[in-house]
């Protein structure tokens, strides 16, 4: 599909997981393995609802929902999930309809990645997909105090890009991220219908 940015846009922000890169099937597999190991449960609807949330927050909710408080720590579940994700991460591919926009506007408009992912995983995904060359500005869960749907991630991107929020278009695959874009006064574009993801 062909998509062009909204009129008057002077800067672009891209979420990473499920927007620039088709990582979500591998994140889900990682969570499944970690949950099975510790006797917790997770399904796709839960993870879709939490798309854009940092891993520690997801792990915390899994523990609470599964009644595992005091039996397993956030760190144990999260570390197992991260280990599993890293084993699968080499399979990650870019999401072409979105990355076509990146390539089209690279060097023409300021661009940033605004993600709820952990910095190390984000760097690895960008390197594996060959997208790291396009982004100098990357804001991760490690760089903010408040996570999507709070607008801090995107507002920090805007500040670093030196572009007014009202002139920024955000590309997202999660309800939390789209809400964060709206709250920040930016245009949010939902990319979920742009590609088929197997999860």
Distance CA 181, CA 128 (A): 27
What are the residues whose beta carbons fall under 8 Å from the beta carbon of 104, sequence distance 6 or more?
none
Closest CA to 140 of 71, 52, 73: 52
The pLDDT tens digits of the residues spanning 102-117 come to: 999 999 999 999 999 9
Burial classification of residue 177, based on how many CB atoms lie within 10 Å of its CB (0-12 exposed, 13-18 middle, 19 or more buried): buried
Picking from 58, 74, 90, the residue at the C-terminal end of a domain is: 90
Distance CA 26, CA 134 (A): 23
Catalytically active residues are 15
What is the span of the domain harbouring residue 56?
A: 24-90
Count of domains in the chain?
A: 2
Answer whether residue 18 shows pLDDT above 70.
yes
Other C-beta atoms closer than 10 Å to the C-beta of 32 total 18
1-13: average pLDDT = 92
We report the CATH number of the domain holding residue 189 as 3.40.50.1000
Query: Which pLDDT value is given to residue 55?
Result: 94
1-10, 43-52, 175-184 — which one is most confidently predicted on average? Answer: 175-184
């Amino acid at each position: 599909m062909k998509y062009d940015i909204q009129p008057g846009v002077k800067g672009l922000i891209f979420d990473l997981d499920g927007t620039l890169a088709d990582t979500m099937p591998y994140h889900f597999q990682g969570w499944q393995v970690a949950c099975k190991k510790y006797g917790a449960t997770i399904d796709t609807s839960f993870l879709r609802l939490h798309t854009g949330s940092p891993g520690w927050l997801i792990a915390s909710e899994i523990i609470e929902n599964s009644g595992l408080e005091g039996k397993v720590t956030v760190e144990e579940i999260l570390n197992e999930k991260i280990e599993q994700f890293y084993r699968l991460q080499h399979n990650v591919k870019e999401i072409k309809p979105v990355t076509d926009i990146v390539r089209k506007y690279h060097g023409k408009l300021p661009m940033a990645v605004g993600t709820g992912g952990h910095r190390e995983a984000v760097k690895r995904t960008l390197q594996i997909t060959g997208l790291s060359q396009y982004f100098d500005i990357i804001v991760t869960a490690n760089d903010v105090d408040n996570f999507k749907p709070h607008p801090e991630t995107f507002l920090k991107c805007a500040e670093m890009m030196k572009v007014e929020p009202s002139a920024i278009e955000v590309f997202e695959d999660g309800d939390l991220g789209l809400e964060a874009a709206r709250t920040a006064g930016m245009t949010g574009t939902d990319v979920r219908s742009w590609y088929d993801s197997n999860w």
